[in-house]
Structure 1
Amino acid sequence: MPDIDLPARIHAACHLTGEFVLRSGRTATEYFDKYQFEADPRLLDEVAAGMAALVPPDTEVLAGLEMGGIAVVVALARHAGLPCAFVRKAAKPYGTRRLAEGAAVSGRRVLLVEDVVTSGGQLVLSAADLRALGADITDALCVIDREEGGREALAAESITLSALLTRSSFAAL
């Protein structure tokens, strides 16, 4: 569980208001600019420390989604003591041509790691891709759940979403 000041500090660092188009295509009047807490080494370390307590005990690999999930997964790996994989939206057409770089995922219990979840769309797509590579995925973990259907979309794919913080965490701020 994060310390009581962490939600306020994350909110102050990354909460924006205005009109924003989200990855899902939805328009929102508030936005969590996750790169603001990911770019602050002290704040990111505190986020990762809080998330470490939420990692399921049978996890073998932490898989961070391109791009925002990469900084989070590296910081989390330091606290959880687990190897990590870096998951692309699509395999690159050169070099290794891999979808997932870093730790092997085949035959291993993999925890998906994301920064902010809205609809859960990219997590669902990446889970399917990793499962096709032989990963065992039953859980996902994010820093902020916007509480806009992501948890339900993942549940439909037999994936449980846990979050360090939710939109509701910021309600009183």
Structure 2
Amino acid sequence: MTVTATLADRVAAAACVSGPFSLADGQVLGSYFDEYRLAADPRLLREVAAAMTALVPADAQVLAGIALGGIPLAIALSAATGLPAAFLRPLPKRYGSRQQVEGTPVEGQRVVLVDDVVRSGAQLLAMTRVLRIAGAPVTAALCVLERPLGGRLLLSEHGVTLHPLLTEADLPTDGAAS
């Protein structure tokens, strides 16, 4: 699917931010993609989810949002597709339910991962493993923005196909983000 330049421009205007941003590995970027700004705009979130429906594999049974950036996207995409959603924590909750996977049960379900930005693919791969241990076959992942930092290749090596709505090349030149 080709995303309209207008939608790419609107996503960039809302969510691509200039300024220092520290990644978990300590790398500091000069600009970044702030998914929370996208998620905070209900109209834009609805439009992004509608555009992402074309990326959902036909055999998908559950959409699994990765905390925290993927959760609002999974909810909006669930509303747009009618597919149930699950929510993934980086680690099991230490109290209450003590669950790492919340929402719709995933065992035996074909689950599609949903996240905001894919860089190295390490987070998606870790969540793929969690879901596979829980008994859910995972072969696809969706994201709003893919950065060409090896994520697609890493996921492919583990049987997961990445379906991005946008890549850096789709963004306006001044909208490059992490």
TM-score bracket, normalised by the shorter chain, equals: over 0.9
Tell me if 1:82 matches 2:79: no
Distance across 1 between alignment mates of 2:132 and 2:24: 23
Q: Decide whether the 8 Å contact of 1:61 with 1:85 is kept in 2.
A: yes
Tell me if 1:112 matches 2:113: yes
- More relative contact order, 1 or 2 (CA 8 Å, 6+ apart): 2
After TM superposition, the structure 1 = structure 2 runs for residues 91-170 of structure 1, keeping only pairs within 5 Å, are: 91-170=92-171
* Identity, % of aligned positions: 47
Per the alignment, in what secondary structure is the counterpart of residue 55 of structure 2?
coil
- Please report how far the alpha carbon of residue 25 of structure 1 lies from its aligned counterpart in structure 2 after TM superposition: 3.7
Q: Decide whether the 8 Å contact of 1:111 with 1:139 is kept in 2.
A: yes
Q: Decide whether the 8 Å contact of 1:65 with 1:113 is kept in 2.
A: yes
- Please report how far the alpha carbon of residue 111 of structure 1 lies from its aligned counterpart in structure 2 after TM superposition: 0.1
Judged with a 3 Å threshold, the aligned counterparts in structure 2 of structure 1 residues 139 and 24 are, in CA distance, closer, same or farther, namely farther
Distance across 2 between alignment mates of 1:154 and 1:23: 19
TM-score after normalising by structure 2: 0.92
TM-score after normalising by structure 1: 0.95
* Structural RMSD (CA): 1.3
Name the counterpart of 1:67: 68
Judged with a 3 Å threshold, the aligned counterparts in structure 2 of structure 1 residues 59 and 24 are, in CA distance, closer, same or farther, namely farther
- Please report how far the alpha carbon of residue 24 of structure 1 lies from its aligned counterpart in structure 2 after TM superposition: 4.5
Per the alignment, in what secondary structure is the counterpart of residue 93 of structure 1?
coil
Name the counterpart of 1:15: 16
Q: Decide whether the 8 Å contact of 2:9 with 2:172 is kept in 1.
A: no
Name the counterpart of 1:36: 37
Cα-to-partner distance string for 1:90-146 (whole Å, 9 max, x where unaligned): 110221111111111111100000011111111111110110010100000001112
Per the alignment, in what secondary structure is the counterpart of residue 59 of structure 1?
coil
Judged with a 3 Å threshold, the aligned counterparts in structure 2 of structure 1 residues 138 and 24 are, in CA distance, closer, same or farther, namely farther
Q: Decide whether the 8 Å contact of 1:24 with 1:121 is kept in 2.
A: no
Q: Decide whether the 8 Å contact of 1:24 with 1:119 is kept in 2.
A: no
Distance across 1 between alignment mates of 2:119 and 2:30: 13
Per the alignment, in what secondary structure is the counterpart of residue 5 of structure 1?
helix
Distance across 1 between alignment mates of 2:26 and 2:47: 31
Distance across 2 between alignment mates of 1:25 and 1:121: 15
Name the counterpart of 2:27: 26
Per the alignment, in what secondary structure is the counterpart of residue 142 of structure 1?
strand
Moved over 6 A (4+): none
Distance across 2 between alignment mates of 1:70 and 1:105: 16
